[in-house]
Each structure stands twice: as C-alpha cells, then as structure tokens.
C-alpha cells in the first residue's frame, strides 16, 4: 500500500530567456533542444539522483506543434540521455503549463505513486507564436460564450483598468520600471545566474555563440520612456510594451521528490509544497485569475495572505499583478513581491514561466530563513489562475530587521 507523502522541490534550472523572433538569440535553436539543455543541466547538478529513478517527465508547451510537438516529456527524456525506461508526457495549460507540470507530478508523488519526477515547460514564441495553428470553435463567439477580445491577452489586460479605475496607468508604468531595475540589481548581485544553463547558439551568419543571460532586459527604463509608448491593444489605452511581458523563448525544468526518496538519496530540498489550486474566471478579464486560485490555495493550506513572506507573481502585465496586490491589500512596491524583478524584465515564455517563479522563490528562501511561506502565482489565458504555496526548509523562526 502506497503512503501519502510530502512533496519537495529539490532543484530547478532554466535556460536564459531570449527575445522571440528573427533577431532573438534562439531563432536558429530548436524548442525541444532548449528543454533538453535545461534537463541535462539539472540532472548534472543533481548527480546523486540515479537517472533510472525518475518516474516520469512532464513538459508543458502552449503551441504543441513542430519542434514543440511529439509528446515533449518523452522525446526530451530520450534526447537528454535518460534511460528508455523513463516515461514522459506533454501538458498544456497555456501560461501555467510548467506550473501544471509541477502540480501534476506533485500529486502523483503525494499519493505515493512516484518517488522522483521531472517537471518543466518550454516555449519558442519565435517559431510558434501563441495561437498558431489553433482553430477556436466558432461557437465561442457565435453563442456569445466568450467575447472575441478574450483571445487577445492585451485586450484582457486593458479590461482590468476598465473594471478598477483606481489602478492607474501611472501605477502600472511604475511597476514595469521597477521590475526592470530589480532584475538588473539581482543580476549585478549574481543572484539569477547560478540557476541558468548556458546554451550554444548560432546566429544568422552561422557563427556560434553562448547564451548566458536573459536577453530582453531594459534596466535604463524611465517613467518618461514608458509614458511615451504606444498602446497597441486600444487607441489611447493603458497597456504598453513597457508594462507587458515581451514575447520570449526559453525552457525550465524542476526536480521533485517525495519524503522517502529525499531521505534515501540524501537530497537537500529547496522547498516543500504546502498546497496548490487553480480557478476559472471570465476569459474576457483573465488577468484576475490568480486572485481566486490564491484564495483557494490559502484555504487548503489553512493560511491567510499575511502568512506569505515572499511572492513570485508572473508579470504577464503589470496591471494584472497590481490587481492581485490591490485585492489582498498589498502595496505595489511591497519588498516581498518579485524581489528580483519579473517577466516584464526577463520575459515570459508562456508554458515555461511557472518553474521560473519557483526557481527564484527557492533561491530567495535560502537567503531568508526568517520567511516560512512563499507563493508562486500566475494568470492563465482563457480565464484561469494558478497558485502554489511553498514552505521554506531553512525557516528558523527568528525575526530579522
């Protein structure tokens, strides 16, 4: 009889994130090879885990076509040199793909079916822009189930401004500017780089190079710069490129294990999963999705928002993060929130981003033994939210100034 088990985030690594498109560093790199690179890097760093002990590999992608098709978990496992006895599969929950990879594997570990698993995501938005080859059912619009604008994420972000007039463009611009500054400070302090796997890349002329850091950062961004940007989703709108996550390519991978495997293999986990939840909202205003999913996750954990000492919130759009903070009574610039910047600065390769949040939270936990609980949360296309609450194994109960 299998035992119910704790679930631990043992480790996570990712590729540097690149700008999508012909000028981006991964234009000549295959999507599945990005996932392979992240997997190899993670397994090399965790050599105490025998490769044949991996029970399953879950890899998410939003556009499962071309080099992001073919049951990614299985194909990447083979390409990364895992034994052929290791199975794998693919997942799609749009932006929360990697998060869903993690929670799906965690559920299998939690009920004692798996001991060790890999979970991650990849998105090559240069090769596979969101919605490519998708054919939404005409009933969505014909039967007024979903407004046509609900399939355009920028339009849904504009609608958050409409619904909450006190969440101003100026607040959104300031949040975007601070994300760039925080990400650069984290880079300058060497906080991001340890969890990045370098990737060999080839430019348009066939010259080889090495991708070692996130490509799209703009640390010099000012409020004046942001005030002058166009509003592509609506004339005289409030969402701009400076307050949105850029189109991005990249891959993430995490190693999860149950309590028994942690002891047996002598592992040192970085986080323990406390609870997770997903929720649906109106697709037309999908950005508020993490509000109900966070409320559900807190209820399941028996916690309140005041118990959360660190937040890693995916910055699909600045207004989307601000709407969650406002709901829970948290200041826009609360130091607990996205301390090392977020997707506005480093990018959001859709299905990969959930594990990036976890990687950054885990690294901050190691620096903050005064913090017991952290939250990773994100909005999801078609009107969803996903949230995972984690406990810090380094927590010592001592308050720090």
CATH assignment of the domain containing 22: 3.40.47.10
pLDDT tens readout for residues 193-209: 999 999 999 987 889 99
**Backbone torsions φ then ψ of 88, nearest 5 degrees:** -165, 160
Evaluate whether residue 185 is within a structural domain. Answer: no
Evaluate whether residue 130 is within a structural domain. Answer: no
Active-site residue identified among 124, 166, 236, 379:
379
Domain housing 20: 5-124+244-389
Strand-pair category, 199-202 with 271-280:
unpaired
Q: How far apart are CA 320 and CA 245, in angstroms?
A: 11
Active site residue 95: yes
Q: How far apart are CA 151 and CA 383, in angstroms?
A: 10
DSSP E strand stretches across 345-399: 373-380, 384-391
Is pTM beyond 0.85 here? yes
Active site residue 327: no
Are the C-beta atoms of residues 219 and 181 closer than 8 Å to each other? yes
pLDDT, one tens digit for every residue, the chain (401 residues)? 778 999 999 999 999 999 999 999 999 999 999 999 999 999 999 999 999 999 999 999 999 999 999 999 999 999 999 999 999 999 999 999 999 999 999 999 999 999 999 999 999 999 999 888 888 898 988 898 888 888 788 999 999 999 999 999 999 999 999 999 999 999 999 999 999 999 999 987 889 999 999 998 999 999 999 999 999 999 999 999 999 999 999 999 999 999 999 999 999 999 999 999 999 999 999 999 999 999 999 999 999 999 999 999 999 999 999 999 999 999 999 999 999 999 999 999 999 999 999 999 999 999 999 999 999 999 999 999 999 999 999 999 887 66
**Backbone torsions φ then ψ of 40, nearest 5 degrees:** -65, -45
DSSP E strand stretches across 106-177: 116-124
When the pLDDT of each residue in the chain is averaged and rounded to a whole number, the result is 96
Nearest one of 102, 59, 385 to 270, comparing CA atoms: 102
Are the C-beta atoms of residues 97 and 60 closer than 8 Å to each other? yes
Q: How far apart are CA 172 and CA 166, in angstroms?
A: 11
Q: Within 10 Å of residue 132's Cβ, how many Cβ atoms?
A: 12
* CA 19 and chain centroid, separation: 16
Evaluate whether residue 211 is within a structural domain. Answer: no
Task: Check residue 70 and give left, alpha or beta (phi > 0: left; psi -120 to 50: alpha).
Answer: left
Evaluate whether residue 317 is within a structural domain. Answer: yes
Active site residue 394: no
Active-site residue identified among 124, 166, 348, 394:
348
Angle at the Cα of 107 (from 104 to 110), degrees rounded to 5? 150
Q: What is the pLDDT of residue 216?
A: 86
Active-site residue identified among 95, 124, 166, 236:
95
Evaluate whether residue 69 is within a structural domain. Answer: yes
Q: Domain count of the chain? A: 1
Evaluate whether residue 199 is within a structural domain. Answer: no
Evaluate whether residue 381 is within a structural domain. Answer: yes
Evaluate whether residue 319 is within a structural domain. Answer: yes
Are the C-beta atoms of residues 209 and 201 closer than 8 Å to each other? yes
């Amino acid at each position: 009889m299998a035992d119910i088990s704790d679930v631990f985030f043992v480790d996570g690594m990712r590729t540097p994130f690149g700008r999508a498109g012909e000028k981006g560093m991964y234009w000549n790199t295959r999507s599945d090879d990005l996932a392979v690179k992240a997997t190899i890097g993670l397994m090399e760093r965790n050599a105490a885990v025998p490769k044949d002990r991996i029970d399953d590999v879950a890899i998410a992608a939003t556009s499962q076509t071309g080099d992001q098709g073919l049951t990614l978990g299985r194909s990447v496992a083979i390409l990364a040199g895992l034994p052929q006895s290791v199975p794998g599969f693919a997942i799609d929950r749009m932006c929360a793909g990697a998060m869903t990879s993690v929670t799906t594997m965690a559920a299998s570990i939690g009920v004692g079916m798996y001991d060790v698993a890999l979970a991650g995501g990849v998105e090559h938005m240069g090769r596979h822009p969101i919605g490519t080859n998708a054919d939404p059912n005409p009933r969505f619009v014909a039967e007024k189930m979903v407004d046509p604008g609900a399939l355009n994420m920028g339009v849904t972000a504009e609608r958050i401004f409409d619904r909450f007039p006190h969440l101003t463009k100026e607040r959104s611009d300031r949040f975007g500017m601070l994300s760039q500054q925080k990400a650069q400070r984290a880079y300058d302090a060497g906080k991001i780089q340890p969890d990045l796997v370098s990737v060999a890349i080839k430019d348009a002329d066939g010259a080889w190079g090495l991708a070692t850091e996130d490509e799209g950062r703009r640390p010099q961004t000012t409020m004046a710069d942001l005030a002058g940007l166009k509003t592509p989703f609506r004339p005289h709108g409030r969402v701009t490129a400076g307050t949105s996550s850029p189109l991005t390519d990249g891959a993430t991978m995490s190693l999860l294990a149950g309590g028994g495997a942690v002891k047996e293999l002598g592992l040192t986990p970085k986080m323990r999963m406390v609870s997770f939840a997903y929720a649906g909202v109106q697709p037309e205003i999908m950005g508020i999705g993490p509000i109900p999913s966070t409320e559900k996750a807190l209820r399941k954990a028996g916690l309140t928002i005041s118990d959360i000492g660190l937040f890693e919130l995916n910055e699909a759009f600045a207004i989307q993060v601000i709407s969650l903070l406002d709901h829970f009574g948290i200041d826009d610039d609360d130091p607990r929130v996205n301390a090392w910047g977020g997707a506005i600065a480093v990018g959001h390769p859709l299905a990969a981003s959930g594990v990036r949040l976890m990687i950054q939270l885990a690294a901050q936990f190691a620096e903050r033994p005064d913090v017991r609980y952290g939250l990773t949360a994100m909005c999801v296309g078609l009107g969803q939210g996903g949230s995972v609450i984690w406990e810090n194994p380094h927590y010592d109960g001592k308050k720090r100034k």
